[in-house]
């Protein structure tokens, strides 16, 4: 099973850093934005690129924790049922 987890972790890393099967990785795409563009809200009520990236980073770390059998709470103050 560890081989499968290692493969999943490697695929996840490539999707963020480069060499992914699906095309440009997240960091490659983000390199096209200036900081002003990343913080901007061109659509009222929509999330900024920066907010979406923070969510993706949190999800990335969450998935890695779960793959490594860490069933702890998402944040220290939230307990799972």
Domain that holds residue 63: 2-67
pLDDT digits (tens, 9 = 90+) for 8-67: 888 888 988 888 888 899 889 999 999 999 999 999 999 999 999 999 888 888 888 888
The DSSP result for 22-54, as a single string, is: TSS-HHHHHTTS-HHHHH--SSTTSPPHHHHHH
Does residue 81 belong to any structural domain of this protein? no
pLDDT digits (tens, 9 = 90+) for 38-53: 999 999 999 999 999 9
Does residue 36 belong to any structural domain of this protein? yes
Mean confidence (pLDDT) of the chain: 84
Residue 39: predicted pLDDT: 94
Does residue 46 belong to any structural domain of this protein? yes
Does residue 51 belong to any structural domain of this protein? yes
Rounded CA separation 53/58 (Å): 9
Model pTM greater than 0.85?
Answer: no
Rounded CA separation 80/73 (Å): 6
Residue 80: predicted pLDDT: 54
Number of domains in the chain: 1
């Amino acid at each position: 099973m560890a081989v499968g987890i290692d493969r999943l972790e490697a695929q996840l890393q490539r999707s963020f850093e480069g060499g992914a099967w699906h095309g440009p990785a997240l960091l490659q795409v983000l390199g096209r934005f200036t900081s002003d563009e990343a913080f901007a809200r061109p659509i009222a009520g929509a999330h900024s690129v920066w907010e979406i990236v923070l969510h993706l980073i949190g999800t990335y770390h969450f998935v890695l924790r779960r793959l490594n059998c860490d069933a702890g709470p998402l944040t220290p103050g939230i307990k799972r049922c």
